[in-house]
Structure 1
Amino acid sequence: MKFNKTEGSLVHDEKRSPLLSTENGVELPTELITRFELYPENKRRPVNKTLFKNDYFKLTYDMKKKDLAISSRGDIVYSAIPYDTSRNYIQRAAIQYLLYPEEAREYIRSHKVNLETYIMPSIFQVTKKRVGKDSFEVKQAYNAIFQNPLFEIQILGRLLQHDETGPISANLPGKFLFNENIHTGISEYIFEYLNFVIQLTKSLPIATDGKSVELLETNLMNQSFADSRDKDSFLTYESNTEIAISLLPQEVKLSIEKSILISKKAIPAINKPLLKSKYGEELSRVRKTYIAHSVHPKESERYFENVLSTENTNLINVVSDIHASDGRLPFSNKNFNILVGDVSDSHVSNKEIKGIYVIGNHELVDVLPRSREELQTKKWRPFLRSDWFKQLLADPDESWYMLPVGSHRFYEVAKEELEKRFPQVKVLHNSSMVHEGVQYIGLTIPVVLVKRKKEQQKFILKTLKKLLNKDYDIPTVVISHAPLFNELNMLSMKSNAYNNDYYCSEPKIEKLFKEHNIIGAIHGHHHIPASSGRSKVVKFAGKEIFVVCSIYSKINTGFELVDLVNSNYQIKEL
């Protein structure tokens, strides 16, 4: 694939793009380095280099992280709705609409019962009039969704958010009523975003799903992306978008069609987007005086129905933090499952599910006896005098930092109780098993013990050394409910839960990772939204290691580990 600088178009080449070295030694495809020269600002930016831009968006390359990102140039406003958290979902919806407009519409229609539930309070917030699902007002508002594709994309994005994170609250009219939505600026943002990504993918060997950006047909192409079953959800230069574009309003359609041919400059929309340079002070005042009409998602869940299938077909399915409250697993999977703790808050049992399980902090409460009589039995009596156990019984949330480091007898009892409930699942309490050529080591780390980090890391080192033994070749994945330490953690440094002191301070652990074929780490615990990403590759112990954090939600019933393992690492047959 070669970039034709003169015409701004792609010419197919059977060979992958050659690499050239930049001044700081970073090797990049020739397409990218030639783009650097087009933007003078790159000379004074050693890290984030501009590769492509128009009036409102830009594609940049991070020279340190070696990844691509699409971002706003800073002036365009995504939404006038204060604290609107759906931007990534709506961008993802925009790409899916371009690729599969009929499927996108069908997804929206499948949520009709939930959309009606959202529309009713939306109408009340505007008119103070209570209406029923069968009312004319609700039917009219529902039908209006399908009259404007840019609004339809927004609804699709919000439904994706609903299915991943739970019910949406706060300022519903602007989100679900077309007549209110036209004042938010989101439609104009979507138009400019679509304009940009179409120009981009027609001009460079780039693929995007609305969040991630990947290189195509180059020596730096992410192999996990190349082999992924999800790559069909990415927009590329080969994508057929004619059907979707034909459904857009005429003025939008003409503008986007022109932007495909003229990649150097975007054709502006008929309605200009909201700009911070023009409306910034006004929007800031609105945010300061905003009174949210918020309801906690858990309080709202009973009003909504799960319209999605609960069957999961992943071959190696990673899931955590289900917190099931009705005594049963909310999904099914007939293959191999990796349950990464906090699965049950209601004595869940399941005789069919197969796989492995590591103990989370909520399991420690869930396995406790329900009666005082049982608490006095031989099994539980040894723990009754311990302060941490007394606190666990009285107020679990105040006991977590007191829990014993993961080699304690109490965890053996928890393991025995869980294995009774899940007879086809092996609970890995500081133990291991091999599945299809990969060794899985399960460490009992229910919580992050920052103040006792030295003790915990001494335990991690001792247990890993014992379980790895002297096998330096077998691909190994380490699983724990709470992350091992910051270096193998999916939690963002910007999160309030992130603690700088939880780093790996034991050099012998790093040496162990370097010597053995440890290829990945899996954790849960932090309830990281799926929209933030559920896997990444980090550098630790002088090599690349994948990290996965899979949190349960209605649409996210697990993360497929097969693609990540098989595409990045050679699995040796044992």
Structure 2
Amino acid sequence: MKSNLSIEKSNKKQELSASAKAETVLPAELAARLDLYPENKRRPVNKTLFKNEFFQLTYHVRDYSLDISSRGDIVYSAIPYDTARNYIQRAAIQYLLHPEEVRKYIELHKPTLEKYLMLSIYQVTNQRVNEQSPEVQQAYEAIFQNPLLEIQILGRLLQHDETGPLSANLAGKFLFSENVKTGIAGYIAEYLNFVVQLTQSLPIMTDGKNLQFLGSGQQENRMANKGMQQALTFESDIAPGLNLLPQEVKQSIERSIVPTTQPLPVNNRPLLRSEFGKELSEVRKGYVAHSVHPDELGSYFENVLSTENTNQLNVISDVHATDGKLPFVNRQFNILAGDLSDSHVKDETIKGIYVIGNHDLLDTLPITSDKTDEAWDLWRPFYRKKWFKELVKNPDDSWFLLPTGDHPYYGVVQTELAKRYPKVAVLNNQSLIHDGVRYVGLTIPVALVDRKKAQQQFILHTLQAVLEEDRDIPTILVSHAPLFNELSLLPPKSEAYNKDYTCSEPEIEALFEQYNILGAIHGHHHLPASSGRFKYTEFAGKKLFVVCSIYSKINTGFELMSLMKN
């Protein structure tokens, strides 16, 4: 057994090691702040860099990331399981920078809001009204009379457009009379106060979720293209939005920039756990959401956003179209990372490349359930296979049984997909050269973690066969599920993340070193575009990009050309 002294020395050594690691990665301007906060001495992982009464900027040593978080007392929302915080924070910064554009975006969604307000009024009064009723129109106009509610409405619409319709607690989210009870307005006021103070004090930029250190090449590469074009910095002109905020909020923010000795009244007081913790616990104890899945509500809302983009290299995945047609238009070259359809979509005009996703394995099966029908002839060789029986019977519980991507089954799927998209090259462990760039399509419908060795042997042998001797041509790897964690955008905090799904095949790294591989593209994990559609990462001694572009109404594709020019 170690003595207390040796344990203390060991802990001290780890603390110093973590601190040293933090200082080597952090820019000097931020590293110098580590000693300003005594709590950093007992925190080996999460280091405080800046804080005020309610929020703090934290540096996470293990993944070199920055994060703004509540210090614990302030409540974001009294609505149980309210998942819109990041959207509303983004909306707050957009309102501060571009209030006119925010107004236009909300007005564009008037038909959507009228439906939400109609349902909200019913939840409160049990009275049914139609979209054009005076009650709905009055509630709609009320949105623009309170900037802190307008910010929230923008956030809710961003969530609606990215993840699908909302259904729970609509009154608290859309009606001013109910919204004032949620505490969200006070949270927004204090959040804006903090981010303005932060960006005025440190060379930091934020879009409401992602943060980037200004002037650091390493951080810029790590955080590139995560919505930073619309981010708040010390150079931002915040006057347009600041002048529209309630006077008390405006003065509080101005005071955070230029300290004053005169106390100012503060409206929109935040909801604090220290004062209302017991009440909040009671509200949430027996809470029943009465929520409906977004897929079931989608048909009730029209899409008011454009379905067409002009990206030259349009990356998209996981469309999961349910009405037999693609909901987006791109007339250029599309890089389709699987799972476009759950309704036997056919499209004779779309051009580009396609890799096989797990939903494609079912969507290509014949529509008829009569297995004596000749439509099933191509599938008969797999009837007796356990994985095929389970796939047809209960797909969500059988993905882990799928064979690795060199199996004949995927050739049949490829044949069926090619019939539906005649101008698309379906790459089943094959390559195609377009405008001087080689795209390698690997068949990885799911991450086979329990058979990682077999999966990575397949990846290695396929790449060796496809890449052959041409080591210089720029090459991009495309698959539905990511190759492994090192080339994945799935965050470690996600429930789907498996820390064991790492690259454990040294020959794969050696191959990456030998060939001019620029990056990897994947889908599968349904990551929202707001969390970032690409990053730069280090693998095999080189900088590679990783792209994941999941379809939503506000993301009909990612322009890969923006990376190709870097």
Q: Give me the whole-angstrom Cα distance separating, in 1, the residues matched to 2:453 and 2:261.
A: 56
Consecutive unaligned residues in structure 2, runs of 5 or more: 1-18
Q: Give me the whole-angstrom Cα distance separating, in 2, the residues matched to 1:450 and 1:522.
A: 19
Q: Single out whichever of 258-267 and 238-247 deviates more from structure 2.
A: 258-267
Residue 176 of structure 1, aligned match among 171, 174, 181: 174
Aligned AA for 2:30? L
Are the structure 2 counterparts of residues 294 and 373 from structure 1 closer, same or farther at C-alpha, using a change threshold of 3 Å? same
- After the TM superposition, which residues 271-350 of structure 1 pair with which residues of structure 2 at under 5 Å, given as runs? 271-350=268-347
Are the structure 2 counterparts of residues 53 and 263 from structure 1 closer, same or farther at C-alpha, using a change threshold of 3 Å? farther
Q: Single out whichever of 37-46 and 328-337 deviates more from structure 2.
A: 37-46
CA drift at 1:219: 4.8
Kept after mapping to 1: 8 A contact 2:22/2:61:
no
Aligned AA for 2:527? I
Kept after mapping to 1: 8 A contact 2:355/2:427:
yes
- Per the alignment, residue 191 of structure 2 pairs with 193
Which digits, 9 at most, give the CA deviation of each residue in 1:254-300, with x for residues without a partner? 22222222399997733421112222232122111212121111121
- Per the alignment, residue 269 of structure 1 pairs with 266
Match of 1:184, SS? Answer: coil
Q: Single out whichever of 167-176 and 364-373 deviates more from structure 2.
A: 364-373
Are the structure 2 counterparts of residues 337 and 277 from structure 1 closer, same or farther at C-alpha, using a change threshold of 3 Å? same
Aligned AA for 1:101? P
Q: Give me the whole-angstrom Cα distance separating, in 2, the residues matched to 1:225 and 1:265.
A: 39
Consecutive unaligned residues in structure 1, runs of 5 or more: 1-20, 568-574
CA drift at 1:230: 5.0
Are the structure 2 counterparts of residues 120 and 85 from structure 1 closer, same or farther at C-alpha, using a change threshold of 3 Å? same
Q: Give me the whole-angstrom Cα distance separating, in 2, the residues matched to 1:524 and 1:316.
A: 16
Q: Single out whichever of 98-107 and 540-549 deviates more from structure 2.
A: 540-549
Q: Give me the whole-angstrom Cα distance separating, in 1, the residues matched to 2:479 and 2:103.
A: 40
Kept after mapping to 2: 8 A contact 1:52/1:200:
yes
Q: Are positions 1:483 and 2:485 aligned together?
A: no
Are the structure 2 counterparts of residues 369 and 294 from structure 1 closer, same or farther at C-alpha, using a change threshold of 3 Å? closer
CA drift at 1:363: 1.6
Residue 149 of structure 2, aligned match among 141, 151, 158: 151
Q: Give me the whole-angstrom Cα distance separating, in 1, the residues matched to 2:465 and 2:398.
A: 29
Are the structure 2 counterparts of residues 131 and 376 from structure 1 closer, same or farther at C-alpha, using a change threshold of 3 Å? closer
Match of 2:157, SS? Answer: helix
Kept after mapping to 1: 8 A contact 2:248/2:264:
no
Kept after mapping to 2: 8 A contact 1:328/1:350:
yes
Q: Give me the whole-angstrom Cα distance separating, in 2, the residues matched to 1:193 and 1:538.
A: 30
Q: Give me the whole-angstrom Cα distance separating, in 1, the residues matched to 2:490 and 2:195.
A: 29
Which digits, 9 at most, give the CA deviation of each residue in 1:497-528, with x for residues without a partner? 33344333333223323443333222222222
- After the TM superposition, which residues 164-243 of structure 1 pair with which residues of structure 2 at under 5 Å, given as runs? 164-223=162-221, 231-243=228-240
Q: Give me the whole-angstrom Cα distance separating, in 1, the residues matched to 2:254 and 2:29.
A: 24
Q: Give me the whole-angstrom Cα distance separating, in 2, the residues matched to 1:426 and 1:395.
A: 30
Aligned AA for 1:206? I
Match of 1:322, SS? Answer: coil
Q: Give me the whole-angstrom Cα distance separating, in 2, the residues matched to 1:80 and 1:242.
A: 30
Q: Are positions 1:254 and 2:288 aligned together?
A: no
Which digits, 9 at most, give the CA deviation of each residue in 1:302-353, with x for residues without a partner? 2111111101222222111111122211101122211111111222122222
- After the TM superposition, which residues 53-132 of structure 1 pair with which residues of structure 2 at under 5 Å, given as runs? 53-132=51-130
Which digits, 9 at most, give the CA deviation of each residue in 1:416-439, with x for residues without a partner? 222222222111110112334433
- After the TM superposition, which residues 34-53 of structure 1 pair with which residues of structure 2 at under 5 Å, given as runs? 34-53=32-51
- After the TM superposition, which residues 387-406 of structure 1 pair with which residues of structure 2 at under 5 Å, given as runs? 387-406=386-405
- Per the alignment, residue 8 of structure 1 pairs with none
Are the structure 2 counterparts of residues 36 and 396 from structure 1 closer, same or farther at C-alpha, using a change threshold of 3 Å? closer
Q: Give me the whole-angstrom Cα distance separating, in 2, the residues matched to 1:255 and 1:113.
A: 35
Q: Are positions 1:411 and 2:393 aligned together?
A: no
Match of 2:449, SS? Answer: coil
CA drift at 1:80: 0.8
Kept after mapping to 1: 8 A contact 2:211/2:223:
no
Q: Give me the whole-angstrom Cα distance separating, in 2, the residues matched to 1:59 and 1:229.
A: 18
Q: Give me the whole-angstrom Cα distance separating, in 1, the residues matched to 2:485 and 2:221.
A: 25
Which digits, 9 at most, give the CA deviation of each residue in 1:515-554, with x for residues without a partner? 4333322222222233333333444334443322222112
Q: Give me the whole-angstrom Cα distance separating, in 1, the residues matched to 2:469 and 2:416.
A: 32
Q: Give me the whole-angstrom Cα distance separating, in 2, the residues matched to 1:143 and 1:501.
A: 52
Q: Give me the whole-angstrom Cα distance separating, in 1, the residues matched to 2:282 and 2:359.
A: 42
Kept after mapping to 2: 8 A contact 1:480/1:522:
yes
- Per the alignment, residue 11 of structure 2 pairs with none
Q: Give me the whole-angstrom Cα distance separating, in 2, the residues matched to 1:52 and 1:404.
A: 50
Kept after mapping to 1: 8 A contact 2:115/2:131:
yes
CA drift at 1:398: 4.9
Kept after mapping to 2: 8 A contact 1:22/1:33:
no
Are the structure 2 counterparts of residues 527 and 41 from structure 1 closer, same or farther at C-alpha, using a change threshold of 3 Å? same
- Per the alignment, residue 16 of structure 2 pairs with none
- Per the alignment, residue 13 of structure 1 pairs with none
Are the structure 2 counterparts of residues 123 and 395 from structure 1 closer, same or farther at C-alpha, using a change threshold of 3 Å? same
CA drift at 1:169: 1.5
CA drift at 1:217: 3.0
Among all aligned residue pairs of Structure 1 and Structure 2, give the percentage whose two residues are the same amino acid: 63
Cα-Cα RMSD: 2.7
Are the structure 2 counterparts of residues 33 and 144 from structure 1 closer, same or farther at C-alpha, using a change threshold of 3 Å? same
Are the structure 2 counterparts of residues 53 and 400 from structure 1 closer, same or farther at C-alpha, using a change threshold of 3 Å? closer
Count of aligned positions: 546
Q: Single out whichever of 471-480 and 289-298 deviates more from structure 2.
A: 471-480
Q: Give me the whole-angstrom Cα distance separating, in 2, the residues matched to 1:354 and 1:490.
A: 26
- Per the alignment, residue 134 of structure 2 pairs with 136
Q: Give me the whole-angstrom Cα distance separating, in 2, the residues matched to 1:26 and 1:447.
A: 37
Q: Give me the whole-angstrom Cα distance separating, in 2, the residues matched to 1:488 and 1:263.
A: 49
